[in-house]
Every structure is written in structure tokens, then in C-alpha cells.
Amino acid sequence: MYENHSLSWGLYFFMALGLAIHHAAEQGKVDVVHYLLNQGADPSIKDTTERTALDWAE
């Protein structure tokens, strides 16, 4: 959402803005991650800090 808006990107890039799958993985919500994957979530997408959901899970 912020990648094409330079002012917002500059203000929020450090917050690791990502998708629901990133936040679920970070919080250890395995059931939510499985649900999102079953619904077609792409686990290879990186957040604003260049981390994938797997990176957050680790």
C-alpha cells in the first residue's frame, strides 16, 4: 500500500509493513498461516523490511 507513496514509505518502512500472513507468522498463529495459504496467500512476498512470512516465523 505504501510502496508507491514516497512520504508514507519514508515514515513507515521501519515498521515492517506486510500482509496478514507476515503478522500471523510473527505471532506464531500456525492455524491462521495455514488458512491464509489455503486461501491462496503467496508466502514468497516480502514485507517492507525484505522479509518473508517464513523469515518472521523463524
Per-residue pLDDT for 18 more than 90? no
Domain map (residue ranges) of the chain = 6-57
Task: Give the span between the Cα atoms of 31 and 17, in whole angstroms.
Answer: 21
Closest CA to 21 of 6, 8, 34, 11: 34
Q: Write down the pLDDT at residue 39.
A: 95
CATH number of 6-57: 1.25.40
Position 33 confidence tier, pLDDT thresholds 50, 70, 90: very high
Q: Tens digit of pLDDT for each residue in 4-13?
A: 777 766 666 5
- Residue 9's pLDDT is what? 61
Which letter does DSSP use for residue 14 in this model?
G
Checking if the pLDDT of 3 tops 70, the result is no
Q: Give dist(CA 10, CA 23) in Å, integer.
A: 21
